[in-house]
Amino acid sequence: MNNRKLSFWLFLTPVLLGLGLVVVLPFVYGLIFSFTDWNGITANNFLGFENYINLFKDAEFRAAMGFTVLFSVVAIILLNFLGLALALLVTRKLKSSNFLRTVFFMPNLIGGLILGFIWQFIFISVFDDIGQALGIEALSGWLSTTNTGFWGLIILTCWQMAGYIMIIYIAYLQNIPNELIEAAEIDGASSWQRFRHITFPLVAPAFTISMFLTLSNSFKIYDQNLSLTGGGPYNSTQMVAMEIVKTAFSENEMAFAQAKGVIFFLIVSIIAITQVYYNKKREVDM
Amino acid sequence: MKGQKYFAKVASALAVTSILLAGCGSSEEEGGTNATSEDELTVDIFQFKVEFKDQFESLVELYEEENPGVNINVKTVGGGNDYAATLKTSFSSGDEPDIFNVGGPSEVEDYRDSLADLSDTKAAEAALEGTLSGVTDGDEILGLPFNQEGYGLIYNKRIFEEAGINPDEILTHEDLVNAVETLDSQKEDLGIEAVFALGAKETWILGNHLANAFLAPEFNQDLMEAYKSDTVTFEKGDEMKRFLDLQNEYSVQPTVSLDYSQQVEELFSLENVAMIQQGNWIYNTVHEMDPELAENNIGILPIPVEGFEGKIPVGVPNNWVVNNNSSDEVIQASKDFLDWMYTSDTGKEFVLNEFKFIPAYEGFDTTKIADPLSQEIYEYASEGNTLGWVFMGTPLAWNEEKLAVRMQKYLSGDLAWEELETQAITEWENSRQ
């Protein structure tokens, strides 16, 4: 028994050490620095909550927060809708379903930065060419206004993440016992009724996972944002993560950026915890 | 039997842990390179200019051959922001380089305690007038300029000729407007998409360069005056607006999503536009796209600023500094290396031909400056026809994050110019409180 305990801890040490050194320790340090005037080199004064008070007065931070929230709401709805739709499509015993699964999942394998640049080319050049050929003016000048920047980001995120969410839904869809569906069919349930009253409640756990994933992902987006719009035009499509990086590394206000980071962390964790709590309640146990 | 199993478990767990620790340990070894071994001095250089990394390393090799007692390690981390952040990290972790780079006065202030006095070096003596102003503190000279750079309106000579415009006659804003209108009226015949390509997505094009030409007179062309100023008045704000409007109106649209690579590569190098507001650093890119164009067909026009016509903004983009915390021998070796680079014959030849720099020092054979843009800028500089680079003395990130972002907003039609000036002035004053 003793041996077991010892080796248990020995095997755990590397992970604990790693986690402690690269996550916990910097987090604590950061928390402390956020109360000072740290500039990245030295911290001279303890400021108390001054950074936190200034942060709520910072118009740019609030704008970035607003944009991120709006983006997340739209992205979560669309992503889950698309993910479930794709999952339903590829679980329908089509001949090409394996091939389709691969295709839908593929965008997820490309890094965010590269994706951003690819889509930037599509939005700016390809859209423009198509628009000119077909005479659709709305396709020109993408990414040069706040609106097109916003939808550009949404399209990019959906394209990248939908395949991943699809995989999660597939796993749950395949776990639904066939008997239930057959029984319902015999009872005369229409396909919509079958989906609404059997499939949907049974994939609710997948919904929890996907919501959590999409929420935290779209809140924390940085690389796609950076490479697609770079926050432009005039920082109006800048998300919180990017705003924090800018405050820290271009404006050199390290401690202030750290305070923003702490607030960002609190917001994301509160949303995520509440959401998981509520969704858990709704799940059906089999 | 039991004992053996136990032993195996402990051993494997220890092995995993040691791998992890080994990863952490290597940096400590690197940190120790400052220490001098028996007869070899080691100098660590941490520099930001990715473009000349290979050439710089071969120069270092030459130096090491000539000076067997010195070993130089070069570490390059690219791009403005990454460099500053990495440098900070290396200072806070105690792994300090012996030679590194600083941009302007604000960085000098940040690292003031770690900067060695370089006024006794030969290179500092040879530095051209005005190139040291950003790094001088009282009697001490804390940095040595990399090179000089200049910018203006880079134009396509062939297109100008075909349109019948003599670039030498363009001095004032009115001249420029006339030329632009002529070009615009013949767009089709000349085969161009538009006259300008304004890369308004890049905040540095607007906030650093465009704005600087019209802000410099207000601070007497002096970087340090801007650095010490509590406010900015936009004395020449109307001219700034006028020049921005001109570029925007006759540019390929939409400008706010047009970036540097579209501007220089797609539009200018492929001869789809006649002019762009850029500097001599684009030469290599243009050369890669179209050597013929780069070598024979591009020239530079000054940005028309009233009262300062025919002058080009020229400045020092970056400086070498030596770490004061290194041992005396290493500081001396660092100074020797920098001296050698800018004052020895081998070094000078390398700086001109391999780095393709516009030298910021005396004693160079300037007829050998590699490309026509640099040559032209050097001529302006040696005749004293220059405007200062004051954007390095503005509050940190003010030009890009505050001013340029508002210029983008102005270009998008969401902000009035007067409003832009008021807001930018407030931002400046707030950060200088």
Contacts of B84 in chain A (CB under 8 A): 249, 252
Question: Does any domain span residue A121?
Answer: yes
**Is the predicted pLDDT of residue A219 greater than 60, yes or no?**
yes
Residue A221 corresponds to which tokens in the numbers above? 């987006």
d(CA B127, CA B144): 8
CB proximity list for B211: less than 8 A, separation 6 or greater: B240, B391, B399, B403, B404, B407
Report pLDDT digits (tens) over A2-45: 667 888 888 899 999 999 999 999 999 889 888 888 877 777 78
| DSSP code string of B313-378 | EEE---EEEEBTTS-HHHHHHHHHHHHHHHHSHHHHHHHHHTS--B-SBSS--GGG-SSHHHHHHH
Percent of chain A with pLDDT over 70: 97
CA distances from B210 to A229, B95, B222, B317 (A): 22, 38, 17, 16
SS3 B41: strand
Mean pLDDT by 10 residues, chain B (433 residues): 59 59 46 48 88 87 89 80 79 88 85 88 85 84 89 91 88 90 89 90 88 89 86 89 92 86 89 91 86 88 89 89 90 90 88 85 80 87 84 84 89 90 90 82
CB nearest to B257's CB, from A7, A144, A235? A144
d(CA B197, CA B261): 11
- Say what the pLDDT of residue B277 is: 92
Contact predicate A16/A24, CB 8 Å: no
d(CA B426, CA A141): 32
CA distances from B16 to A11, B21, B53 (A): 8, 9, 37
The answer to whether the pTM exceeds 0.95 is no
Backbone φ, ψ for residue B386 (5° rounding): -125, 155
CB proximity list for B139: less than 8 A, separation 6 or greater: B119
d(CA B193, CA B400): 28
Question: Does any domain span residue A16?
Answer: no
Contact predicate B129/B148, CB 8 Å: no
CB nearest to B253's CB, from A39, A141, A143? A141
Least confident range of A35-49, A97-111, A125-139: A35-49
Residue of A nearest to B253 (CA): A141
Residue B53, burial from CB neighbour count under 10 angstroms (0-12, 13-18, 19+): middle
Backbone φ, ψ for residue B356 (5° rounding): 55, 40
Residues 386-415 of B with CB under 8 A from A: 396-397, 400-401, 405-406, 408-409, 411-412, 414-415
Domain count, chain A: 1
Question: Does any domain span residue A41?
Answer: no
CB nearest to B88's CB, from A3, A21, A41? A41
Residue A275 corresponds to which tokens in the numbers above? 């959401």
- Say what the pLDDT of residue B15 is: 62
Question: Does any domain span residue A158?
Answer: yes
Residues forming a β-bridge with B155: B275, B299
8-state DSSP, A125: I
Residue of B nearest to A10 (CA): B13
Judged by CB atoms closer than 8 Å, whether chains meet at B9 and A7 is answered as yes
Contact predicate A117/A229, CB 8 Å: no
Range of the domain at A197: 54-282
Contacts of B396 in chain A (CB under 8 A): 250-252
Question: Does any domain span residue A38?
Answer: no
Checking phi first, is residue B40 left (phi over 0); if not, alpha (psi -120 to 50) or beta? beta
Question: Does any domain span residue A37?
Answer: no
**Is the predicted pLDDT of residue A227 greater than 50, yes or no?**
yes
What type of residue sits at position A257? A
Residue of A nearest to B20 (CA): A14
Least confident range of A169-173, A229-233, B176-180: A229-233
Residue of A nearest to B23 (CA): A18
| DSSP code string of A160-224 | HHHHHHHHHHHHHHHHS-HHHHHHHHHTT--HHHHIIIIIHHHTHHHHHHHHHHHHHHHHH--HH
- Say what the pLDDT of residue B37 is: 45
What type of residue sits at position A98? N
Residue of A nearest to B414 (CA): A234
CB nearest to B6's CB, from A3, A230, A233? A3
Q: Which residue has the tokens 């604000």?
A: B106
CATH number of the domain encompassing residue A74: 1.10.3720.10
Q: What per-residue string of b and e applies to A102-135 under the rule 16 or more CB within 10 Å gives b? A: eebbebbeeebeebbebbbebbbeebbeebeeee
d(CA A203, CA A182): 17
Q: Find which of A1, A144, A244 to mutate to test the B interface (most B CBs within 10 Å of its CB).
A: A144
Residue B215, burial from CB neighbour count under 10 angstroms (0-12, 13-18, 19+): buried
- Say what the pLDDT of residue B29 is: 40
- Domains of chain B are 33-147+317-363 (3.40.190.10), 149-315+377-431 (3.40.190.10)
SS3 B67: coil
- Say what the pLDDT of residue B18 is: 61
Question: Does any domain span residue A3?
Answer: no
Element at B76 (helix H, strand E):
strand B70-76
In a 13 Å sphere around the CA of B76, the CA atoms on its Cβ side amount to 11
Name every residue in A having a CB less than 8 A away from some CB of B: 3, 6-7, 10-11, 13-14, 17-18, 21, 39-41, 124, 141-145, 230, 232-236, 246, 249-252
Dihedral sign, CA of B403, B409, B411, B415? negative
Question: Does any domain span residue A2?
Answer: no
- Say what the pLDDT of residue A8 is: 87
CB nearest to A252's CB, from B21, B92, B396? B396
- Say what the pLDDT of residue B28 is: 40
Q: For chain B, give percent helix, strand, coil, nearest 5.
A: 55, 15, 30
ipTM of the complex: 0.73
Cα of B298 vs its chain's centroid, Å: 21
Maximal CA-CA distance, chain B: 97
Judged by CB atoms closer than 8 Å, whether chains meet at B257 and A232 is answered as yes
Residue of A nearest to B10 (CA): A7
Contact predicate A169/A199, CB 8 Å: no
CB nearest to A234's CB, from B6, B14, B405? B405
Q: How many residues does chain A have?
A: 286
Mean residue pLDDT of chain A comes to 86
Least confident range of A94-98, A264-268, B141-145: A94-98
